[in-house]
Amino acid sequence: MSHLFTPYDLGPLRLPNRIVIAPMCQYSAEDGCATDWHLIHLGQLALSGAGLLTIEATAVSPEGRITAGDLGLWSDETEAALGRVLRAVRQHAAMPVAIQLAHAGRKASSHVPWRGGQLVPVAEGGWQPVAPSAVPHAAHETPPDALDAAGLQRVIDAFVDSAQRAHRLGIDAIELHAAHGYLLHQFLSPLANHRTDAFGGSLENRMRFPLAVFDAVRAAVPASMPVGVRLSATDWVAGGWDADQSVVFGQALRDRGCAFLHVSSGGVSPAQKIPVGPGYQVPLAERLRAEVGLPTTAVGLITEPEQAEAILAAGQADLVALARGILYDPHWPWHAAAKLGGQVTAPPQYWRSQPRGLSALFGETAMGQR
């Protein structure tokens, strides 16, 4: 059997295969509330046959949004809106669902990407971002406010509240966003964290707040709900966060009951120099898997089924995540199963779409149709 189509357990959560749909921001919420766009978007992906669907970066507070269009889970209204979408999706798809909980930090109050993505000043309808230090993401931007002790506690409380709401909604797993230059990554990286208190300076101090957030979330939801972390394993900037530090952070997370690592990179500095190419982040996942020992997801320009299969067969990762590739081809898992001899779950309304010679693609239940 193909490695890609072998079931995998994230603690108590069984995934039917090793294909993960990565969280992908849609910038289409209204005051944090999921809309019909999310119903269409998530509904389509939930029929893809992947092993796990991860809801996009979901802000734990209004000021933690990247843009005014970000999805949120900080109030009864945002919880109800996402619940409506999930109820509709689950009527037709049994795919496990995770959610990525996030706070944008100094990258908050930005335009949506198709309007340029630049910082929106308060005078133009934006809001004041907060961060570890009063250091802007780009030199020309207005500095964020540095979080004080009360602000740090508010952030922790917001993550806990959102996690509890996710559990009430029946979401299967939580991924904390500590990558791509957002708040938890900002604390980790010396490029963004210039603090001189217990949360800045040494590696131990820079890890302290992200670990406190993890501990609080892990304690706030049942053990049956896996809690993992997405991290940028390197800033791709000299003097920034790097793979050596990521190993130490991963080991600390492991010791606290972290269920998985989702390994990405970059995002904290405009000075980054990323050597983009097929599977360019896979070696980072491979190292963390070997030295941390947690279930590890690789992501980043993994586009071909044979490529994904080879990553798993070589032990470079336990799971493979798709983002832009599955937006381009929402039936990527179907096509991968056809190439690799696997099976996927598909709705009965689609069973007759199987090409001749692939009668087992959707499993035995789809065979023998008139």
CATH of the domain at 194: 3.20.20.70
Strands (E), the chain: 8-10, 13-15, 19-21, 52-59, 97-102, 130-131, 145-146, 173-178, 227-232, 261-264, 296-298, 319-322
Say if residue 110 is in the same domain as residue 211. yes
Residues 240 and 289 in one domain: yes
Which pLDDT band holds residue 366 (cuts at 50, 70, 90)? very low
Residue 65 lies in a domain: yes
The reply to whether 357 and 325 lie within a common domain is no
In a domain, 196, yes or no: yes
- Asked whether residue 1 is assigned to any structural domain, the reply reads no
Is 50 exceeded by the pLDDT of residue 137?
Answer: yes
Which tens digits make up the pLDDT trace of 90-117? 999 999 999 999 999 999 999 999 999 9
pLDDT band with cut points at 50, 70 and 90 for residue 195: very high
Band the pLDDT of 358: cuts 50, 70, 90.
confident
- Looking at the fold, whether 340 and 317 belong to one and the same domain comes out as no
Shared-domain flag, residues 228 and 310: yes
Burial class (CB in 10 A: 0-12, 13-18, 19+), 364: exposed
Q: What is the mean pLDDT of residues 352-361?
A: 81
Which member of 182, 280, 328, 350 is catalytic? 182
* Confidence bin at 24 (pLDDT 50/70/90): very high
Is position 60 within any domain?
yes
pLDDT of 101 reads 99
Average pLDDT (191-197) is 98
Clarify whether residues 311 and 250 are in a common domain. yes
Q: Are residues 319 and 223 in the same domain?
A: yes
Would you say residue 2 lies in a domain? no
Residues 122, 236 within the same domain = yes
Residues 351 and 257 in one domain: no
Catalytic residue at 328? no
Enumerate residues 6+ apart whose C-beta is below 8 A from 69.
Answer: 26, 27, 28, 29, 30, 112
Q: Are residues 347 and 209 in the same domain?
A: no
pLDDT at 1: 81
Predicted confidence (pLDDT) at residue 80 exceeds the cutoff of 90: yes
Check whether residue 90 and residue 170 sit in a common domain: yes
pLDDT computed for residue 352 by the predictor:
87
pLDDT higher than 50, residue 369: no
Please determine, for residue 363, whether its predicted confidence score (pLDDT) is greater than 80: no
This prediction's pTM: 0.95
Number of domains comprising the chain: 2
DSSP structural state of residue 239 = T
Domain that holds residue 361: 331-370
pLDDT of residue 355: 84
Number of Cα atoms under 13 Å in the Cβ half of residue 293:
5
Same domain, 72 and 201: yes
Q: Which has the closest alpha carbon to 323: 346, 301, 295?
A: 301
